Amino acid sequence: MTDKRPDLKDVNERMRGLLARTTHGRDDFEDLVIVPVFAVIVALIFGALIMLATAVDLPTIGRSFVALAVGSVGSLSAWSETLTASIPLVLAGLGLGLGFRAGLFNIGAEGQLLMGGLAAVVAGFSLDFLPMVLHLPLTLLVGALVGALYAAIAGFLKATTGAHEVISTIMLNLISFRLLDWFLRQPFIQREGRSDPISKDVPPSAELPRILDFIDVNLRLHAGIFVMLAAVALVYWMLFRSKIGFAFRASGENPDAANYAGMKAAFIIVLAMGTAGALAGLAGATQVQGVLGRASPGFSAGIGFDAIAVALLGRSHPVGILFAGILFGALEAGGRQMQVDAGVSIDLIGIIQALIIIFIAAPLLVRSIFPWGFRKRRKGGEA
Amino acid sequence: MTDATTTGATAREEKLASANSRRARIMGGVLIALALLVLFTLDVAPGESATFRLTTPRDAVQIGDLVVPGGPFNMIAAALLAFLGVRQFLRGGARWTNISLGIGLAILVMAFLVWATAGKSFSLTGMLQATMVRAVPIALGGLAGVLSERVAVVNIAIEGMLLAGAFTGALVGSLLGGWVGMFAAIAVGGCFGLLLAALVVTYRMDQIIAGVVINLFVLGVTSYVSSQVFAEYRHLNNAPTFRSFKIPILGDIPVIGPMLFNQNLFVYGALILVAVSTYYLFHTKNGLRARAVGEHPRAADTLGIDVYKTRYFHVTLAGMVAGFGGAWFTLGSVGRFDENMTNGRGYIGLAAMIFGRWHPVGALSAALVFGFADSIQQKLALLNTPIPSEFLSMAPYIATIIVVAGLIGRSKPPAANGTPYTKE
């Protein structure tokens, strides 16, 4: 009992030190607020320039920005669409952010999301004898578990052989696309009477219920939002309040030091990849159980790649990722409105998202474009 | 003291030797498993034989079909594999492990082809030609990877550069003709190379993030323009394509003639670029300097090599190569651009680079393997084999993971790969 207290204090102190080091040389406010805000504004301006360059006239550009705003935050249904789109982005983004903290660059969220979503569909229609109280959480859990296992392959390879996770997760993504196509043609999964690759439906007892349908049945926001919020809280606790989170961050900051401190590097890598995969798998599960209702080829629709952007924009911090995910969800929902109202292709949103990340990831670039708004950097200070 | 060090050294050597022999054992086991696979799953019905057509009726030189009796051939293949496996298992010479494995895989592929074509006939020449064509963008992507990773810049952006090249080729090619389109594609690829260099060298952005972002950006821009502009003005997306032309005499050589010497500009271009860059990287002063920057930038800097300039130059060059490879998708094949038409080929190029151990010729060979898997998958649909095509198309990716994991000898990247350099 007595020798436990100083130990805890010691851990606390080390964590403080670590936190101080992660923000070392950075000006918190500039880094967390001004840079992202600048990035978004500049990206929107560039978006307008690109529209001009492709012969879209000025009134249409004005109308498309209005549509972007109205379609993302202008009404209750717009908010519903924004939040619906942000659920899988935040979930997968949390996983990727956690990986970044542990020094793992996981590009494989797309594949983990596909595998998790597919597993959730299979669990959905094959366990439909269960009551909803059991069926729904169990289905989500199966999605998370399969996502975790798929990601753990890359973690295991890195831990045992040193295979770089960027390459192995890219390959696992490409494999997952083919694997999904194959699975969707298997008689067990393919919907009866169909020759195209499409799965059976998720039964109602495994569907995430729509939470706003008492106002309007067309509001698509589903109970996955609670899963998302719980995940944000859980990841926050895990990263900053738990021992394993400390191990994640320590091995991300300085693997050698972590190893000397007695942390099992291999175990941490596999666990971090697995947790990231579980969150991506959960994102896939909420998507099929709350929005799509079934699996089809490429149902992930690039969410796994957008989530990389979300994690970067959110600075790998759970709360930051929550806001970044909602911003990207808003761009997604507003983009659809923009396409309908102003006839500007939704692909413009992709450009804007990429530009935001360029400016976020290269703060030196933003500083050199906009020297005002930033205090002079201390000499030798990290960018 | 000396005693202790010598014991330490011997212990280390023993450990190394035991690791090597263990690897050889594993390889032996794998080869024996392959032999069993050939024996039991690739069994051909008695009396059936596979017919490989080596020439088409229009060819100048005619040689007869190659008729292989299926049953005996696969028996022999299985026996050979088993021999190699047992030899590997008992002797365990590390020197022979990779060669045995290479021969083993070649035998496996042959046995597979014989099994798949048993009782039918199949044009070998056509498949080799398709292999070469499909290998071109992968080889050029891999070469772009080699050029930038040799100066220690990780290039995930190859995918985006290929896509940008394809797009530019279609757009400019439709307006100003194929040649201008091709040069424009090279120029745009070079611009993205320059952008990548600027982001990672000058602005010290994380190299992988910079690559991912360029991919997202190019995908966004090209998809946007193709749905916003091309959908309405179709004449902007209707480029002429480069026809294949036969090199006299060489093109008439049976089997390999059509594969190497009756192709379009892009195939010849890729072969020439691989040869030139091999010479450049390994036999010229500037190539040596570039590799020095990739292995030990600090030492290179001390010797008066401008690390930043070298990185800028080679990454831009890599972008130009990838832009040329991208033009293949439009000017070299269909003449029109579709959203995301490169479809992960850039990543496969990256895999080819690793497979080829950061060497241009290696990258080309790996690209040929991937192209082979790609073209055989098309043929399998015609031959009606029970193996799902999805699994065959996965094979190259699984092979890449195995290579990256170092299960078949370690593939070693340039020492400073991925790390930014700050001049003191």
> What residue ranges define each of the domains in chain B, with the CATH number in brackets?
17-119 (no CATH), 126-404 (1.10.3470)
Question: In terms of CA atoms, which chain A residue is nearest residue B393?
Answer: A178
Indicate yes or no: CB of A350 within 8 angstroms of CB of B220.
yes
Confidence (pLDDT) at B2: 47
- With beta carbons under 8 A apart, name residues in chain A contacting B156: 166
Domain ranges, ordered by start, for chain A: 86-320
Chains A and B form CB pairs within 8 A to the count of 130
Q: How confident is the model at residue A225 (pLDDT cuts 50, 70, 90)?
A: very high
Residue A217 pLDDT exceeds 60: yes
Residue A92 pLDDT exceeds 90: yes
> Which of B206, B224, B407 shows the shortest C-beta gap to A347?
B224
Confidence (pLDDT) at B51: 78
Between CA B302 and CA B424 the distance in angstroms is: 10
Q: Which amino acid is at B140?
A: L
| pLDDT tens-place string over residues A264-288 | 778 888 999 999 999 999 999 999 9
Confidence (pLDDT) at A330: 92
Indicate yes or no: CB of B224 within 8 angstroms of CB of A350.
yes
Comparing CA positions, the residue from B259, B232, B233 lying closest to residue B247 is B259
Confidence (pLDDT) at B96: 66
Between CA A306 and CA A199 the distance in angstroms is: 25
| pLDDT tens-place string over residues A152-209 | 999 888 888 777 788 889 889 989 998 998 998 888 888 888 888 888 888 888 888 8
Indicate yes or no: CB of B229 within 8 angstroms of CB of A164.
no
Mutate to test the interface with B, among A175, A315, A328, A365 (most CBs of B within 10 A): A175
Residue A145 pLDDT exceeds 60: yes
Residue A6 pLDDT exceeds 70: no
Confidence (pLDDT) at B140: 95
Which residues have C-beta within 8 Å of that of residue A263, sequence separation ≥ 6? Answer: A247, A250, A251
- With beta carbons under 8 A apart, name residues in chain A contacting B221: 50, 351
Q: How confident is the model at residue B229 (pLDDT cuts 50, 70, 90)?
A: confident
Q: What residues of chain B have any CB closer than 8 angstroms to a CB in chain A?
A: 154, 156, 199, 203-206, 208-210, 212-213, 216-217, 219-221, 223-225, 227-229, 339, 344, 347-348, 350-351, 354, 388, 390-391, 393-394, 397-398, 400-401, 404-407
Confidence (pLDDT) at B208: 82
Q: Which residue has the higher pLDDT, B9 or A334?
A: A334
Task: With a threshold of 0.90, tell me whether the complex ipTM lies above it.
Answer: no
Q: Are B267 and B133 in contact (CB under 8 A)?
A: yes
- Structure-block tokens of residue B27: 């390889």
The interaxial angle of helices B178-197 and B207-225, nearest 10 deg, is 150
Between CA B268 and CA B264 the distance in angstroms is: 7
- Structure-block tokens of residue A339: 């396409």
| pLDDT tens-place string over residues B86-114 | 877 776 555 666 677 778 778 888 888 78
Q: Which amino acid is at B270?
A: A
| pLDDT tens-place string over residues B155-193 | 889 999 999 999 999 999 999 888 999 999 999 999 999
Angle ∠(A233,A234,A237) on CA atoms, nearest 5: 85
- With beta carbons under 8 A apart, name residues in chain A contacting B217: 351, 354-355, 358
Q: How confident is the model at residue A379 (pLDDT cuts 50, 70, 90)?
A: very low
DSSP reduced 3-state for A6: helix
Between CA A106 and CA A214 the distance in angstroms is: 40
- Least confident range from A30-34, A270-274, B262-266: namely A30-34
The nearest CA of chain B is from the CA of A292 a distance in Å of 23
Between CA A259 and CA A268 the distance in angstroms is: 10
- Least confident range from A287-291, A337-341, B31-35, B292-296: namely B31-35
> Which of A105, A172, A305 shows the shortest C-beta gap to B216?
A305
Confidence (pLDDT) at A380: 40
Comparing CA positions, the residue from B315, B325, B362, B319 lying closest to residue B345 is B325
How far is the CA of A18 from the CAs of A12, A259, A321, B192, B398, in angstroms? 10, 15, 21, 37, 38
Q: What is the helix (H) or strand (E) element at residue A21, kind and residue range?
A: helix A4-22
Confidence (pLDDT) at A381: 39
DSSP reduced 3-state for A25: coil
Confidence (pLDDT) at A11: 53
Rg of chain A in Å (alpha carbons): 22
Q: Are B346 and B353 in contact (CB under 8 A)?
A: no
Q: Are A147 and B369 in contact (CB under 8 A)?
A: no
Mutate to test the interface with B, among A174, A300, A332, A367 (most CBs of B within 10 A): A174
Question: In terms of CA atoms, which chain A residue is nearest residue B348?
Answer: A171
Question: In terms of CA atoms, which chain A residue is nearest residue B215?
Answer: A354
Confidence (pLDDT) at B20: 66
DSSP reduced 3-state for B67: strand
Confidence (pLDDT) at A15: 53
Question: In terms of CA atoms, which chain B residue is nearest residue A361?
Answer: B205
Question: In terms of CA atoms, which chain A residue is nearest residue B407?
Answer: A161
Between CA A272 and CA A156 the distance in angstroms is: 11
Indicate yes or no: CB of A365 within 8 angstroms of CB of B404.
no
> Which of B209, B228, B354 shows the shortest C-beta gap to A344?
B228
Tell me what percent of the residues of chain B surpass a pLDDT of 70.
88
Mutate to test the interface with A, among B138, B203, B422 (most CBs of A within 10 A): B203
Which residues have C-beta within 8 Å of that of residue A241, sequence separation ≥ 6? Answer: none
The strand pairing partners of B66, in sequence order, are B52
Q: Are A320 and A314 in contact (CB under 8 A)?
A: yes
Mean residue pLDDT across chain B:
82
- Structure-block tokens of residue B384: 């009606």
- Least confident range from B129-143, B322-336, B343-357: namely B343-357
- Structure-block tokens of residue B342: 């490169």
Indicate yes or no: CB of B199 within 8 angstroms of CB of A166.
no
Burial B65-76 (b: 16+ CB within 10 A, else e): eeebbbbebbbe
Confidence (pLDDT) at B1: 42
Between CA A142 and CA A119 the distance in angstroms is: 6
Confidence (pLDDT) at B218: 93
Confidence (pLDDT) at B191: 95
Residue B268 pLDDT exceeds 80: yes
- With beta carbons under 8 A apart, name residues in chain B contacting A335: none
Confidence (pLDDT) at A13: 56
Confidence (pLDDT) at A24: 42
Indicate yes or no: CB of A162 within 8 angstroms of CB of B406.
yes
CA atoms within 13 A on the CB side of B2: 0
Comparing CA positions, the residue from A76, A14, A64, A96 lying closest to residue A352 is A64
Residue A32 pLDDT exceeds 50: yes
Between CA A261 and CA A271 the distance in angstroms is: 18
Would you give the DSSP letter of residue A170?
H
DSSP reduced 3-state for A215: coil
Mutate to test the interface with A, among B224, B342, B350, B422 (most CBs of A within 10 A): B224
Between CA A272 and CA A148 the distance in angstroms is: 10
| pLDDT tens-place string over residues B38-60 | 777 777 777 777 777 777 766 76
The nearest CA of chain B is from the CA of A131 a distance in Å of 36
Residue A24 burial class via C-beta count within 10 angstroms: exposed 0-12, middle 13-18, buried 19 and up = exposed
Confidence (pLDDT) at B238: 83
The nearest CA of chain B is from the CA of A309 a distance in Å of 8
Confidence (pLDDT) at B11: 64
Most confident of A16-30, A46-60, A130-144, A239-253: A130-144
Confidence (pLDDT) at B18: 66
Indicate yes or no: CB of A179 within 8 angstroms of CB of B347.
no
Q: Which amino acid is at B207?
A: Q
Q: Are B269 and B285 in contact (CB under 8 A)?
A: no
Mean residue pLDDT across chain A:
83
User: Residue A70's CB: how many other CB atoms inside 10 A?
Assistant: 15
How far is the CA of A277 from the CAs of A189, A211, A351, B401, in angstroms? 23, 27, 27, 18
Tell me what percent of the residues of chain A surpass a pLDDT of 70.
87
Burial B313-351 (b: 16+ CB within 10 A, else e): bbbbbbbbbbbbbbbbbbbbbebbbbbebbbbbbbbbbb
Q: What is the helix (H) or strand (E) element at residue B263, kind and residue range?
A: strand B262-263
